Amino acid sequence: MAAVSLLDESRFGYLKPEDIERLSEAYRFSDAAHAGQKRQSGDPYISHPLAVAEILAEWHLDGQTLMAALLHDVLEDAAITKDEISDAFGPPVAELVDGVSKLDRIELQSAEEAQAENFRKMLLAMARDVRVILIKLADRLHNMRTLGAVPPAKRRRIARETMEIYAPIANRLGLNALYHELQELAFSHQHPLRYATLAKATRAARGNRREAISKIESAIKARLAASGIEASVTGREKHVYSTYRKMLEKHLSFSEVHDIHGVRVIVKDVPACYVGMGALHALYKPIPGKFKDYIAIPKANGYQSLHTALIGPYGGPVEVQIRTEEMHRLAESGVASHWMYKDDAESLSAVQKQTHRWLQSLLEIQNQSGDPQEFLEHVKVDLFPDEVYVFTPKGLIMSLPRGATAVDFAYAVHTDIGNRCVAAKVNGELVPLRSELRNGDRVEIITASHAKPNPAWLQFVRSGKARSNIRHFLKTMQYEESVRLGERLLDLALRGLGSALDDMDNASWERVVRDSGSDSRNAVLADIGLGKRLPAVVARRLLRHAEIPAETKPGAVVMIRGTEGMAVQLARCCRAIPGDDVIGSIKKGQGLVVHAATCRVALRSRRAEPEQWIDVEWAPDNHRLYQAEIRVTVANQRGVLGRVASEIAEAGSNIDSIAMEDDRALYTSMQFVLEVSDRKHLARVMRALRRLPDVKKLARVSDT
């Protein structure tokens, strides 16, 4: 294949002569690097990077991008370094090639982890320069077009990956034509029999529909012309995969899906869109609830159009899209329009800004998530948004994933707002933070300086940004609390050996940190607090390095103040409260878990693993509330629950939860989880309940 074929004037004529010369150099460099290599189809390998460059040339991308496309596999498949590419073609081209290249030189634990790390690097490189993902998408498109030469198992894996990652990224960047082609190709390789059957049925239906579509188009053209609107009207062909998805989602037969006719109308300006919509609503009756205005409120990827559904002349629905020429260009080319239509740069700047904001959010998520698979999970959430549009108190529009809650909105506004939110108002009314938002809602977030994220939020948030920020905060908080608990446990162990934490010098600590393979002193303390290291072992290592004789003394106990946070947990099996005798267990990954001394679970575990248990006591200045569980058997009378709840409130306690027996006869058993300050407070509550005539039996519930 000669280099001259690359420089086809019809494809590359938009470039400057010096760019074409540099492109020829890149072609020769890549051809030499891939000399002797063949694709699985048997074609010379250079045919692949050349095809990728040709796809990008259709989008009128710049010379640097086309050079990177020609060179995108040389780091992986040839003994070429990034520095060599940088010396020959400049640092920007080298960065683009590096961003696209896979991470086959990094040792990873599994294929899934390798793939997740791959996507992480690609998406982060894309956040720095969106051209990286455009090269990668063009690369994937050509690979999908030539996937027939690949073994079936690998073909299905690549097709699934394309459907789950690359097609949604193309959609997120507004590359509509590419999005649909990737979906069609992926579907044909994932489910070849289903694809072949539906494709055959679609071709057969096309002939039957031609007359109906032609009549609808003619009627629409005539009505628009009568209204003084210049317009281009075309029938929209249904894609095989979109037909299949609609059949699955709406439980329709093939004929029911193909009874829906699609028409696209392109007009000269925005006012003509709305005038045209009115004219068509007068021609055919609109279907209520099917009108969508994506011009006033564009989709997250910048897509703009008016959508409506009408009752056509044959009684079936007609789906109509009305847009301007600029909107149509953007709908087909998305973020690539920046390069394709530079004369419309100002009108197309909105999608660039939206894309930039999304790409920056990827960097923020990455900074908070060191795990590649967790990062990919967060990004996947944002790649399937099915958006809902809501308003800030100042009237700004925000796009969120369908099912998003007030917490998602808070994090979308700012990370600090999300971390400190305590309540939300939707359309002026207070609502729970877990409330799902609907299109058009006006949302206001109420914050407090002392507030912090709740782990329960992870059960209902929908956006990747919210999920990643909450996890990051909780990890940081747990780490800090674990360090503080680790200090207390290590000091306790050292005192039992006749020393104290304050006596340990920096040199001893440095040797212990180095020997343990940790990053820092705090990492060792956090491991102790999380139960990953035994405090007695670390204490003896410190003493050995400090050369202080280990003289065992009776150890002190760990005081439980109730303010330790996530590092200290109260076991739910026995729900210990101040006043109960307690013992503590250092559980790996959980920190210190406190049980009642008489708890059967604790006693069994203590016999099996005695080295994990330490003595603990309640601190005298304990002012927080704790959960205690009681079972109340009452006469089954009207209003009895209200009377019991009233007595509990009068005794100064809150009800956290309540459960009742389903089989209610003469007597009913109710189980309450109450908030009390200590054992004496619980005793006052139980005395108050015993005074009620309806109460027949009363006992505290615990695993003792």
Catalytic center residues: 76-77
∠ Cα 622 623 628 (to 5°) = 90
Number of continuous H segments (helices) and E segments (strands) in the chain: 29, 19
Q: Coil, helix or strand for 318?
A: strand
Position 239, amino acid: H
Number of Cβ within 10 Å of residue 245's Cβ equals 14
Based on its alpha-carbon atoms, the radius of gyration of the chain, rounded to whole angstroms, reads 33
DSSP string, 37-73: -B-TTSSBTTHHHHHHHHHHHHTT--HHHHHHHHHTT
Q: Which two tokens stand for residue 31?
A: 């051809």
DSSP lists the bridge partners of residue 620 as: none
DSSP string, 131-160: HHHHHHHHHHHHHHHTGGGS-HHHHHHHHH
Helix spans in 497-609 (H): 506-516, 521-529, 535-546, 600-608
Token pair belonging to 295: 């011009």
Backbone angles phi, psi at 632, to 5 degrees: -120, 125
**Integer Cα distance of 349 and 326 in angstroms:** 12
Q: Is residue 6 a contact partner of residue 12, using CB atoms and an 8 Å limit?
A: yes
Cβ proximity of 449 and 420 under 8 Å: yes
Strand order in the sheet with 421-426: 429-431, 421-426, 443-447
Beta bridge mates, 411:
none
| Contact status, residue 623 vs residue 562, Cβ threshold 8 Å | yes
Rounded to whole angstroms, the Cα distance separating 426 from 392 reads: 10
Strand pairing of 695-701 and 626-635? antiparallel
Tokens of 15: 């470039």
